[in-house]
Structure 1
Amino acid sequence: MGGKPFSIRRRIFVLALALLLAASVVLIVFIRDYAERASDRAFDRLLAASALTIAGAVQVEGDAVVVEIPFAAFAMFSGQDRVFYAVEDPDAQTVTGYQDLAMQMGETVSAEPSFLDTVYRGETVRVASVGRLISTPTDTGWVTIHVAETQNQREALSAEILSNAVLPVLALTALAVGLVWFGISRMFAPLTELEHELRARAPDDLSPITVPVPEEVGHLVIALNGFMARLRNSMERVTGLVAEAAHEVRTPLASLRAQAEVAMDEHDPEALRRRVGRIHTGAVQASQLVSQLLMEATISHRLENREIDMTTVSAAIDEVRQRLDPEQVGRLHVDVSDEAAVATIRGDRVALREMMRNVVDNALVYSDGMVDISGRVRNGMLVVAVSDRGPGIDNSEKPLVMERFKRGKASSGKVGSGLGLSIVARVAEAHGGTMALVDRDGGGLTVAISLPLPRRSAPNGTAALVVATMLAGVMLAPSPSEAATTVYPAPDGGEEQVLNILGVTDTPLFAHFVAAFQAEHEGVTVVYEETDSRPLFEGFLDGTLEIHPDLLISSASDLQLKLANDGHALAYESPYLGDLPDWAHWRNEVFGFTFEPAVIIYNRDLISDAEVPRTHLTLAEMLETQTERFRGKIATYDIGISGVGYLLAAQDQTISSTFWRLASAFGRVNARFSGSSPAILNGVADGSLALGYNVLGSYAFARQAEGAPIEIVVPDDYVLVLTRSMLIPRDAPDAELAKAFVDFALSPAGQEVASGPTALGSVIPEGSGEWTSEAIAARGRGVIQPIPLGPGLLVALDTLRRQRFLDTWQEIVSPKP
């Protein structure tokens, strides 16, 4: 019994190649292990340094543990990974940070950092834990500090080290393989000549081989020549045999064919009919199964590609009825309320139709009587119920039948695939709804499907405002446009595509962006709800927003970064991302699109140009020396309710050594506080205020261009610049439209709007227009200090740090009598 043919050349080459590759693999594994260890050591040192920095800030006030997170604790990170932290007191109570992280980790009773890989919020994180021994009058114990970081950059560094080291290894391996192949080829050159000689021969040439060969192959050639001689004799005999066999075999083959034809004609008709019946039954079931599988594949494809349409339940029911025969249509009783009949469902029309078809088909197959279809609107949900008088489904089987290829006991004897209800459940879930199987009174089954109805717009108006009077300051009333919803219909009249945006930009300014966006996307309706930065952040987390936004836009970029860091943002690789400055985006989740300095505005009738302060220090000195003149005439943000105000104040405090002196000066003059820039602008413009501090330059430039009697100072010492940022929520109803708007805002067309009449400033360098970043920077002599989007912004948002900052601020600007 012969073995498989093989090549000596190939065997030698494969053996040499295997040895080379094995050596390379061993070397690469070693390099990979080294790269991972080196990367872990580097990033573990950063994690440990962060944890130790926080540990150093732990203090005891009375019996309570307090800690103010240092800025350096997070500034040392790369900015490309998510960062989480928690501080626990000796009683395992979370002092600050992420409580769920603290609950997931154990207590640390050592000052030496320890490290652990764990899964947190769906991602693998590396956690550094450090203990800090504290002693109070009543107890001594360990404070535990945990700092966690996702491992993207860690893995990227490891991959970079590995790739840089592997390339030379692969190059040397490839060179060695080439040398081995070359050497083997030279050794087997004589055999190649022998091969060419044999290939050149005619098929019937079996004469002896006369090509000179090495001694090692000579015996093989002698044996081959003897074999060919025997083969020549055999072929001569075979040729005669084939001629005889052709004549002898022809007759029995003809006989066998005739006998087969007779046998086919003698099949029993009754047996054949039964077999055909079974074949038909199997074909019907197979056809239905194939149809259902094809439909499931189609639905899966459409749902994955988010085929969005607007339809009604009446339209879906009508399509199902048109596909039924008259007898089945007569068994349907449809009772849909007027409200439900006109209620539009936002989703995939084909998937919704097939969902209804599967439910109705099941009801018709498993019952003989009438099938009732009802539709009602309840609490913002469209509830469609299909009821029959069939055998129903046992409670124990209800979860089972919603799985693929699962059928209940009542389906015995009924043709089916076991896919119908699983398709219904999947479509309902993909549209944000639910499906329930409910026993029907009097027998039978009700399939209840609940689908959410889209909120096309919220009522116009002004949200309820909280008016607060501080001990030494007055809250300014917000502008009447706050918390208003505006609908911009699609220019082509279409209603299928709706982009819901929740933002803090004044509606008149944002209207310019909407108009330019719709000029490129004529079929998109834009619903824009204007609110404040803090309510936007808190409402999104609480799920209490009036609309389900596709896009969040806020000037409080620290709050936006907090949302992204906590896993609420959808990653998107915009083609314009590479044009953004590094400080104006975080990873591919938060995108800045404006360039807005914090400026000082004043009324020339109340402050002359010669005496106007042009630095933060001179502003503090002016308020300290002319307290009575400016009492009640100075305004700035209320950092307790304004997200952007708190962001600017936190950055001021980090940069300026005179910040608390300036805050104290605000307290002396009974400064007034507002949650928005427009309210301060209104006060300066009408003369009720003399000066506004840290007002967003974008609003000030636009108001001045409209003719408002205000003057603007871009400080000469330093200028804080923030960028209005965009974020696509992970659960955005139409993420593709949101991505289109992000692309537009970052494109030259969108940046032209920012640098044009809105005066929001174009963040991408070398743009065109009056309000480019270069033009804005040239208006002052101070150091331009952009507020970078990165983990450092999370420090000021630490719960305990923020509360202490606010308490100190209020104590200074509103001293008790």
Structure 2
Amino acid sequence: MANSAFSIRRRIFALAVSLLLVAAVALAAFINDYAERAADRAFDRLLAASALTIAGAVQIEDETVLVELPFASFAMFSGSDRLFYTVRAPDGVLVTGYDDLANDLPPADSAEPVFQDLDYRGETLRLVSLGRLISSADEAAWVTIRVAETQNERELLSAEILSNAMLPLAALTLLAIGIVWFGLGRTFAPLSTLEQELRARSPDDLSPVSVPVPAEVSQLVVALNGFTDRLRLAIERLSGLVSEAAHEVRTPLASLRAQAEIAMDEQDPEKLRARVSRIHQSAAQASQLVSQLLMDATISHRLDMRDARPTSVDALIEEVRQRLEPAAAARLSVSVEKDAGAAELFADRVVVREMLRNVVDNAMLYSAGPVEIAATSPELGTVLLSVSDRGPGIPDPEKETVLQRFKRGSAGEGKTGSGLGLAIVKRVVDSHGGSLRLADRDGGGLTVEITLPLRRRKPAAHTAAAAVAGATLLAAALVLVPGQGEAAENRYPAPQPPPEGERSLTIVGTTDTPLFARFVEGFQKMRPDVEVIYRETDTLVMYEEFLGGSIAPKPDLMISSAADLQLKLANDGHALAHSSQYLQSVPGWAQWRGEVIGFTFEPAVIIYNPGLVREDELPRTHLRLAELLEEQPERFRGLVGTYDIAKSGVGYLLAAQDQLISSNFWRLATAFGRIGVHLSGSSPDILDRVARGDLALGYNVLGSYALARQAAGAEIGIIVPDDYVLVLTRTMLIPRDASEPDLARAFVDFALSPQGQAISAGDAALGSIVPGSTGPFTSEAISARGRGAVQPLALGPSLLVSLDQQRRSRFLATWREIVSPR
């Protein structure tokens, strides 16, 4: 035995040292990989910044691409690396730079930077490629900008990070080994104390161990105490069973022995037959008693195990019937209601079967006629099992007595029995939360009524009728859009407020209330304890009220289609960041720092009245719209609508981005001025006027509202421009002073979740931002409606440029002078 002993302490120490060394090696590999990735990220950002600076200098003059490299485009690099660059026009012709750089790579088709390594002139370069979308004539096209550098500086930075991290790593590894050795000695000390405590105990001492031990060892002590407690209960139960069995079995066994001794000396055959009959009766009583005691012990054990499973009432009654003797089974009649038979008990099948069998056996024993079993559902969530006979019954004074262990009524005299049957029944019924009643039967006899709770079922989530009603309500809501600028505040009470009271989430947003109600409904299904207060307002009004401190009610969450205004608030320190679990699924352009997060995909489209504009003259590009208005100014005078960008935040955002992309923007603005364009503060107002025939065309209308209105049956047509289409995302922002930021974060998570995105991609038609969402209005489906370049308005500091006070002032002044000189 001594040779087989081993030291746990040494084994743990050896294992710990091995793991520490493996971890040190793995950490060194991780640090090396991290150093390389950190260096790549740092220098990749410089590369992207350089390329973006060049892209910002791209201009179109007389349909020719020109670029004058800004000084800052290369000033951000150190002098240790060699730099190469190239700018190519949409047709692939070199504008400037190195003509032989990355000739075999495809042209850029996105403004997102794309990085890769490239062999060039005998060296490995890091290359960034991106595009600049320009619009001229009848189409939009991409200018390709590429910048590359050698990798000497990034390799030096990676080596410096690695070398600076290795010395602390080695020191920490040695220190950890010393701490492990010291800690193991301290860790095993309480086990010796526990061992001494257990050795000093007497064999019959099963009291809990109360030696003070550390938290880590306390789990062992808790498990040990739990085991001794179970052992004590088992011993007590065994002792009780032995005591009861010894007491109850002694009498029939003594009687059996005495009768046998007398029978041995009996010579008269008739008297001997009587003695043998008495011996058989005593043996049957002893057998019945032993059987009941064993069943009592079995049921006690199974009740302690709590092995509850769904059990149908029909199957339970049938199993009891099949276990009866053929003669007894012929006396049994069964009556089960349809609903009661199909119901399920959540119980131990063996326990409830033996319970019901005890009742049936008693009825068979005490009556010679038929025995009836009935199952009914007297009230929701319960089943009533009743067993009726035509025996002598039980007098009222004895009905409580016979439910006790080893107690029998006066009707049991002369009958074989133990006095345990009804006691077992009562114990089983009580353990399952039911009730037991002994009732006199009309016409004589006894009815045993057992009421048990049924298995609870989860309620159905939604019915088809509710879904149809919701769709009908949405269609009506899309037609009846409230007037813009109204501070419509709506309350949505918590469906299931907790006892301590509901919590309230306050949202101020620019989404039409009937549309937003769908998101509130979906959110409250996940958080039925939350009341939602929603106020609908305008983009610019919400922004100005928030900055002025006059916004009411005070919002926990702000939702706006004017992403630039939201970004301005976040940039100025008014927003809380939220690292949502769904944020990684959101495209990079649709979120900024986790403070401004988009959840919709909404293109800016051109709408028209089919009765006022023919199919063959539809303006499918921005240039064609300008030409149409120039060619027929009198026809379209006062019949074209667009945003009043001085009043609408989203209108200004779209106009500013149009001006950056399209060389035809001011030409279109001039055409608007000549025909007396109708300026509006909202997309719904323009949609209403086009649908009624008051306007023939609407420009830069949010496609989400247009698609939803068209789906609801409005007489409008939708044009997704073939040259380019601007796409914005409705953004969410949590104010820094929000009263319920946790609830606001929960709503953001819901809006980005598959359930929230399904609402955006469904009848709401706001468009889902997360790729792979389900519904008719996903970002993929919306993008496929047009043939032009899809240009999302990326959330980033670049949006702040158009909000510069002087720039905005000059832009609006020029707009007013051209579009509405009056």
Same fold (TM over 0.5): no
- TM-score band (shorter)? 0.3 to 0.5
TM-score in terms of structure 1 length: 0.45
Bigger Rg, which one: 2
